[in-house]
Amino acid sequence: MNSDKITKIVLFSVSFIILFIAGGMVFSLVGGAIPSFKTFGLGFITSSQWDPTEGKESYGALPFIAGTLITSFAALIISFPLSFATSLFLGEYYRNTRVAKVLGTMVDLLAGIPSIVYGLWGFYVLRPFLIDIGFENQGFGVFTSSLVLAIMIIPYATSLSNEIISMVPNDLKEAAYSLGSTRYEVIMHVTVPAARSGIFAGYILSFGRALGETMAVTMLIGNANIIPDSLFSTGNTMASVIANQFGEADGLKLSALISIGLLLFVITGIVNGIGKLIIKKMN
């Protein structure tokens, strides 16, 4: 066998590790989830009982699924005007200027702040502030978590939208200008429609990010195993319940937490898949 062939085989087998990890991940999560799904069946997803008392253990993930979707969706809505404005600032109004470079770096750094630091900031700065201005009584719960989540996901939506917005061909915009449009009209009637699907994909991907965020949410949501009934209610998300309850878990409870991990894996996989598909279609 010559060295070229060996090289090719080495490249192939090393990259196979990626497939192996992903396959093993699905295998292990499903394997770990089997005991709880066997015991509770589909009830695991539809029940909102979470009772670790020995002898009458009962686990249902509905409050956490609901908590995850509600906080992430609220975060998406809060982040929308902010990241939309920022991507117009970076990709349209001040494209290729020094101020855009500085602002862009700062947005990137937002993505670099560790989740636990966001949690501390939310707990010691944002929470007292929300209470002071009379917006919240307790400061814990869905709204505070969503607000911090929104800040955390802004960079993901912004970077993609900004890239797509700055790629809209100049001819299109110039045509509208030549017809007497103002810049606002050009943005709303030419730039945004042309970049629509890219902007949309950016929001889907940032939603996917929000679904799996753990530490900041764990510190702010109040950790109550209930389905949140309002924006100011406390709750728990899939990621936060794993972080909170993992320490004392074995047996059926461990399996229930792994099942929640599996559900989280599947849900984020679907959401990210949709986002990637839209991007692929655009190219």
Partner 1 sequence: MQSISTKDNISVRIKKDRIFLGLVVLLSVVTVSPIVLIIFKLIAKGYKQLSFGFLVEKMPDTMQAMTAVTNNELIPGGIANAILGTLLMVVLASVIAIPVGIISGVYLYENQGKWMANLTRSVSDILQGVPSIVLGLISYIWVVKHVTHGFSALAGSVSLAIMMLPMIVRSTEETLKMIPQTLKEAGLALGIPYWRVLFGILIPTGFSGLMTGILLAVSRVIGETAPLMLTALGSSVINANIAKPTSAIPLVIWEFYNDPNMVDLIWSSSLLLMIMVLAFNLTAKQIAASRK
CB of 134 to partner 1, least distance (A): 20
Element (H, E) at 51: strand 50-51
- 202 lines the binding site for partner 1 (CB under 8 A): no
- 17 lines the binding site for partner 1 (CB under 8 A): yes
In this chain, which stretch among 43-51, 53-61, 84-92, 226-234 interacts with partner 1, using CB under 8 A?
Answer: 84-92
Task: Pick one of 38, 95, 189, 196: the residue that binds partner 1 (CB under 8 A).
Answer: 189
Q: In a 3-state reduction of DSSP, which class is residue 229? A: coil
CB of 56 to partner 1, least distance (A): 26
Q: In a 3-state reduction of DSSP, which class is residue 185? A: helix
CB of 142 to partner 1, least distance (A): 19
- 219 lines the binding site for partner 1 (CB under 8 A): yes
- 169 lines the binding site for partner 1 (CB under 8 A): no
Residue 276: CB atoms within 10 Å: 14
The tokens for 93 are 């109004």
- 213 lines the binding site for partner 1 (CB under 8 A): yes
Contact 140, 127 (CB under 8 A): yes
Say how far apart CA 119 and CA 10 lie, in whole Å: 43
The tokens for 221 are 């949501």
Residue 34 or residue 229: which is nearer to partner 1 going by CB? 34
Subset of residues 103 to 132 that bind partner 1, contact rule: CB under 8 A: 103, 105-110, 112-121, 123-125
Contact 143, 74 (CB under 8 A): yes
- 32 lines the binding site for partner 1 (CB under 8 A): yes
The contacts of residue 140 (CB under 8 Å, 6+ apart) are 127, 220, 221, 222, 234
In this chain, which stretch among 58-66, 77-85, 135-143, 195-203 interacts with partner 1, using CB under 8 A?
Answer: 77-85
